[in-house]
Amino acid sequence: MNQPLPYDRQRFDAAARELVENTRELAALGWTPATSSNFSLRLDDRHAAITVSGRDKGRLGDGDIMVVDFDGQPVATTQRPSAETLLHTQLYRRCPDIGCVLHTHSRVQTVASRLFAADGKVPLAGYELLKALHGNATHEAAIDLPVLPNTQDMPELASRVDRLLDTQTLWGYLIDGHGLYAWGRTMAEARRHLEAFDFLLACELDLRRLRA
Ligand SMILES: CSCCC(=O)C(=O)COP(=O)(O)O
Ligand SMILES: [Zn+2]
């Protein structure tokens, strides 16, 4: 006899559809080269739906989404979750409001992460588009997008993120030579944040070129 699932199956099915649709759209922008990037949605207070590791994110089907608990362990499946699962589940565990985490490797994100790595942050100020980030009501907002050193040690990376979150509200961070993490309360909000960061980083790169 099959064991009952510890999560709501209908909720998982809906999350899988939403993840597949949004992942395909982000892949079509060229933001998920060479199987990179990973995407997740909260299911409840202990589980998230997340992309299976190593899949071509432009060709995902429902079978490429699985469930993990907030320790990053697979639930009711033998599939292997994203290698970066811990960077998703740490946010769900820590912040009950966070409903969606998106990670991409666009060229703009990767170049900016290299350029600003030594400073540990990208200062973003004076842009109307800062209002796309939840909580910012005016273009006069100024934020620092953190840039963390890359490592394959996910617990180490997760503890750096935890330390940042201890002192500030964040909607994303860069990892040097790697890509961008962004999140939100819903898929729509997480996408808005992801797209806003990518646009603002592209502006900063253009300004650097034009001023050189
Ligand atoms: C070939 S991309 C290297 C791993 C990575 O950074 C990534 O985003 C994708 O890893 P996943 O295990 O989630 O497919
Ligand atoms: Zn990655």
Local confidence pLDDT in tens for the 212 residues of the chain: 678 999 999 999 999 999 999 999 999 999 999 999 999 999 999 999 999 999 999 999 989 999 999 999 999 999 999 999 999 999 999 999 999 999 999 999 999 999 999 999 999 999 999 999 999 999 898 999 999 999 999 999 999 999 999 999 999 999 999 999 999 999 999 999 999 999 999 999 999 999 99
Cβ-based neighbours of 87, under 8 Å, separated by 6 or more? 101, 103, 154, 157, 158, 161, 181
Read off the amino acid at residue 187. Answer: M
Nearest to 193 by CA among 51, 20, 26, 11: 26
Q: At what angle are helices 187-211 and 9-28 packed, to 10 degrees?
A: 20
Distance from the alpha carbon of residue 211 to the mean position of ligand 1, in angstroms? 34
Residue nearest to atom 13 of ligand 1 (CA): 82
Q: What CATH number is associated with residue 152? A: 3.40.225.10
Whether 101 contacts 15, CB under 8 Å? no
Q: How many domains does the chain have?
A: 1
Identify which of 38, 59, 87, 109 to mutate to test ligand 1's pocket (most ligand atoms within 8 A of the CB): 38
Distance from the alpha carbon of residue 156 to the mean position of ligand 1, in angstroms? 17
**Tens-place pLDDT, residues 124-144:** 999 999 999 999 999 898 999
Residue 3 counted as domain residue: no
The answer, yes or no, to whether any atom of ligand 1 lies below 6 A from the CB of 35, is yes
Alpha-carbon distance of 49 to 191, in angstroms, equals: 16
The answer, yes or no, to whether any atom of ligand 1 lies below 6 A from the CB of 38, is yes
Which residues contribute to the annotated binding site?
A: 103, 105
Identify the domain containing residue 156 by its residue range.
9-211
Q: What is the pTM of this model?
A: 0.98
Give pLDDT, residue 3.
82
